[in-house]
Amino acid sequence: MIAQLQEYVRRAYRSALGRPRNELVTPALILDLDVARRNIQFMTERLRSLKARLRPHIKVQKSPELARLQVEAGAIGVCTATVWEAMVMSRSGIEDVLIANQVGGREKINALAEAAKHGHLSVAVDDVRNAGELSDAVQAAGSQLDVLIEVDVGMGRGGVRSPDEAVTLAQRLSQFSGLRFRGVQGYEGHCMLEPDRTVRIAKAHAAMDYLGVVIDRLAEAGFACEVVSAGGTGTYDITGNNPRVTEIQAGSYVFMDNFHGNLVPGFSRALTVLGTVVIQHGNTIVLDSGRKSVGIDFVLPTIVDYPFYQARYFAEEHALFDVDERCQLKLGDTVELIPGYAPTTVNLYDAYHVVENGVVVDIWPIIPRGPGHVGILRD
Ligand SMILES: Cc1ncc(COP(=O)(O)O)c(C=O)c1O
């Protein structure tokens, strides 16, 4: 079913092939492959001098094609947020997939257990009841899952809340069939956006120091952590230099959206949304790319050629900008927007228009998008 869906999307968008990037049906999602390759290359070079390896988070891009480029550049596998993303990656030939999240709900757990028959999958757990459900499912499916205990290192989302809880969970895990304890995940999400780099470094170090305490307690109790997974784009070079951390989960570096902005140098904007000026009155222009076509979470999108204009408002179908004499745009012109937040932008589209040298050279389907559904991906 995954291959059929991908083929369907490729066919649906094939009329875009060969077109210049500014002549697409709008709103259109554009992936500048030249820039994405440079971002991947830059990360590969930076990681050479760091201790950890890279396991990019693909919730940002949901694309096996991009994941393959990352693996070819040295990534050890990928991590995902959902079972559906994991299934697509695994079926597309990515050999080592970590669901860096808890999986809840019977059908999703069953789908995960089934998928684990066909590829190496790991999952984060922070609750013994959830672990029990996973164990039941893999036993019924005849598969096996590697598990990382998620540790809350200060973000206050998932993760056991103390070293004692980690040890207790590891002890319980060892009693469950079909689950293999491999280590810990300690995503320091609360540090990512700290604008002051000195403060970010201090916060990330504190988070990893705490993770170290948990790792030591687990080791004392007989549970050695082979895998220590942490980090994101904002901390990749801080957490990636921690001798205990084995892998970095950075994902957004491939695209760089306005949310990540200039937090980390060396990466450029590879993802844009093409919109058309559909309304023009006086100094107000309105693009056909509202919040149904570009993610506005956390930070607003900006126009590539006019970065100094702040959007007045993003409605469902409309993006309103108040401009001045510097603006050359006319009714019917197309413009590219840099998304506020890339993951929620990508999630709105069926396909990337993959652009090289300004021309669409390929269509890369985005499956799964939306919340995903077991019936769609089965078979
Ligand atoms: C568990 C986990 N790891 C890694 C990341 C990747 O972060 P980024 O996209 O900033 O690189 C996220 C992002 O939300 C996450 O939730």
**pLDDT for position 378:** 67
pTM for the complete prediction? 0.96
**Right CATH number for 2-31+266-369 from 3.40.50.720, 3.30.70.870, 3.60.15.10, 2.40.37.20?**
2.40.37.20
* pLDDT tens-digit map of 318-336: 999 999 999 999 999 999 9
Phi-psi region of 354 (alpha: psi -120 to 50; beta: other; left: phi over 0): beta
Mutate-to-test residue for ligand 1 from 55, 59, 248, 263, highest number of ligand atoms within 8 A of CB: 59
| pLDDT over threshold 90, residue 138 | yes
73 CB-contact burial (10 Å; exposed 0-12 / middle 13-18 / buried 19+): middle
Q: Measuring CA to CA, how many Å separate 232 from each of 73, 105, 250, 254, 261?
A: 18, 27, 4, 12, 14
pLDDT tens for 192-206 read 989 999 999 999 999
Please report the pLDDT score of residue 262 as a whole number: 81
Structure-block tokens of residue 298: 């956390």
Instruction: Write the pLDDT tens digit of every residue in 203-229.
Output: 999 999 999 999 999 999 999 999 999
**CATH classification code of 33-254:** 3.20.20.10
Q: How far is the CA of 80 from the centre of ligand 1 (A)?
A: 9
Q: What is the CA radius of gyration of the chain?
A: 22
Confidence of residue 237 (pLDDT cuts 50, 70, 90): very high
Q: Which atom of ligand 1 is nearest to the CA of 124?
A: 1
Residues having CB within 6 Å of any atom of ligand 1:
57, 60, 100, 187, 189, 192, 232-234, 249-252
**CA-CA distance, 367 to 365, in Å (whole number)?**
6
Average pLDDT, the chain: 96
Q: What's the pLDDT score for residue 263?
A: 87
Q: Which residues of 350-360 are buried (b: 16+ CB within 10 A; e: fewer)?
A: bbbbbbeeeeb
Cα-Cα-Cα-Cα dihedral of 326, 332, 335, 337, to 10°?
110
Residues of the chain with CATH 3.20.20.10: 33-254
